[in-house]
Structure 1
Amino acid sequence: MSETPSTSPSPAPPAANGDGTAYQPYVPPPSTVPMAVMVPLGLMDPLRWLRQGWADFMAAPGIGIFYGLCFWAMAAVLTLVFRNSPEYVMSIASGCLLVGPFLAMGLYEVSRRRELGIAPELSASLTCWDQHLRSMGMLVLVLIVLELLWGRASLVVFAVFFNTGMPSTAGVLQAIFNPENLEFVLVYLAVGGVFALLVYSTAVVSIPMILDRDTDAISAAITSIRVMFANPITMLWWGFLITLLIAVALATWGAGFVLIGPLLGHATWHAYRGAVRWQEPPAATAEGADGKVDRI
């Protein structure tokens, strides 16, 4: 007996739309906006940012000293709160981390203008935020939420370890330097460190990016976090240098902020310019009626 040759099933016809035309998958159009590309960084880059920041400060010392005095006033408020209500120190410190970058936006403007070859002006630095009010407001909201969570978490730590009442300033210092309270110190630092890292990652390049590209707050915050994840060692090293310089300023009863404040402000602009490169999108293409690809 002869076997009937098997036949392979014929391919199914392409799915059709409601109007009878063949289904075509959706292909999103090419991007028409520049893309942020993360630049690989080394451990020497933060030192270079500080050197460039110092050059900007020396180019416009009057503007820098003005903002430095503002930072000094912030430090004085922080010291006053520590003496009277130490349980709110972390909350006020986070507030300083919130206000500080926005205050430094004027310094970013000075560095931006120098980069473009434009003479820096105090009036321009004081009003540089007005064209980015919506994006800045949204970013403020994000950072305020982090600040409130940070402050609440700090109060919870105090309440857990000091259930007899909030300690005085002397009590806080005694608790920190008392070996028996090592667990409290570790928990306090761990909680503060987590929120400080969140604030730092969100704001490290977001505000200079808003000033430079006039982007929205969410995109700026995401790009800032991408910078942190792309170069974690370098950015943590940069964060350590910032913390070290702030500690030096605080050790001088806040007077060091007159120089260190504007230095860090200018250097932050160069950190953004060094960590993020903007790549123009490729030219869009379209398929002509003859099936050929035409350049738009």
Structure 2
Amino acid sequence: MSISGKIDPVVRPIAATDIAEALVEGLRDFQALPIYGLAFGALYAAGGIGIILCLTALGMAYLAYPLAAGFALMGPFVAIGLYEVSRRRETGQPVSFGAIWSAIRSRSEIGWMAFVALFFFVAWMYQVWLLISLLLGPHASFSSLQEFVTVVLTTSEGRLFLAIGNAVGATLALILFSLTVVSFPLLLDREVDFVTAMVTSVRAVVTSPLPMIGWAAVIVMLLIVSALPYFLGLIVTLPVLGHATWHLYRRIVAPV
């Protein structure tokens, strides 16, 4: 039972073939309604570009890599609109930006899930600052991204910073993935509280650990490759992944 007294959603096991089929279905959704995918993808890419420009203007371009990696943690929240597009296409409902916004706004629990994602982003950036202070010096500052990369790759302290930072980041990303991979689509689909949604999401990962970790790896690799050309690849990658996540959710959580 959920904390609201309702029956908990039923979680079904999945296989690697389900992930492949969900990706195909996600691509079909994007091809059928590209304007929405491109809009949300462009919004996400613009956020990444804006972050880099702000860091450059502030003389903190050396934080581009850790901040860009942390920014990826907000992907599930940005993709909410894409889940709604897939949901409406699936049920034959009309799709418009107004309808998407109304659906998202009517689900108050989504706001709490957004707060969870933001919390992990802040935690990620805090640990980056902490590691820089502990390993590279409390007053460490770099004139350029190139100088920062040189220090990280050519000094023992820098390599330790890179190893620990990536390990902590991977842990945070896996935890957030487990909490959100099913919860955001579930909150759009049903009237459940955000705690039940997170528990259901974790249950989905525990039920099918290898396929779900494989899905997480696919997401990470595609986001990294897409972010390299100044985040522009995200304009296409985010919508395909977003639509695919909805279809994977449909395979994981049994219908009412």
With normalisation by structure 2, the TM-score equals 0.87
Greater CA drift, 177-186 or 191-200: 177-186
Which residue of 157, 173, 189 maps to 1:196? 173
**Counterpart pick for 1:174 among 140, 150, 173:** 150
Partners in 2 of 1:123 and 1:183 — Cα distance?
A: 48
Residue-by-residue CA offset, 1:4-63 (whole Å, 9 max, x unaligned)? xxxxxxxxxxxxxxxxxxxxxxxx9xx984432221111222221111101101111111
Q: Give how far 1:77 is off.
A: 2.4
Q: 2:17 — aligned with what?
A: 44
Q: How many residues align?
A: 248
Is the alpha carbon distance of 1:184 and 1:216 closer, same or farther for their aligned partners in structure 2, counting shifts above 3 Å?
same
Pair 1:234 & 2:211 matched = yes
* 1:179 CA displacement: 6.1
Shift of 1:103: 2.3
Deviates more, 1:169-178 or 1:206-215: 169-178
Contact 2:132 2:138 in 1 (8 A): no
Candidates 109, 112, 116, aligned match of 1:138:
112
Q: How far apart in 2 are the matches of 1:102 and 1:127?
A: 16
- Confirm or deny: 8 A CA contact 1:201 1:225 kept in the other structure: yes
In 2, the alpha carbon distance for the partners of 1:46 and 1:69 equals 25
Listed as ranges, the gaps of 5+ residues in structure 1 are: 1-27, 281-296
Larger radius of gyration: 1
Structure with the higher strand share, 1 or 2: 1
Counterpart-to-counterpart distance in 1, 2:72 and 2:169: 14
Alignment of 1:246-261 (within 5 A): 246-261=223-238
> Secondary structure of 1:252's match?
coil
Q: TM-score normalized by structure 1?
A: 0.76
Structure 1 partner of 2:247: 270
Q: Which residue of 2 aligns with 1:67?
A: 40
From the two aligned structures, give the one with the greater helix fraction: 2
CA 1:249–1:177 in structure 2 vs 1: closer, same or farther (change >3 Å)? Answer: same
* Contact 2:180–2:198 (8 Å) recurs in 1: yes
* Unmatched segments (≥5 aa) in structure 2: none
- Give identity over the alignment, percent: 29
Runs of 4+, deviation exceeding 6 Å: none
Whole-angstrom distance in 1 between the partners of 2:165 and 2:173: 12
State the Cα deviation string for residues 244-271 of structure 1 (Å, max 9, x = none). Answer: 1111211222221111111111111112
2:122 maps to a residue whose letter is L
Q: Distance in 2 between matches of 1:88 and 1:69?
A: 19
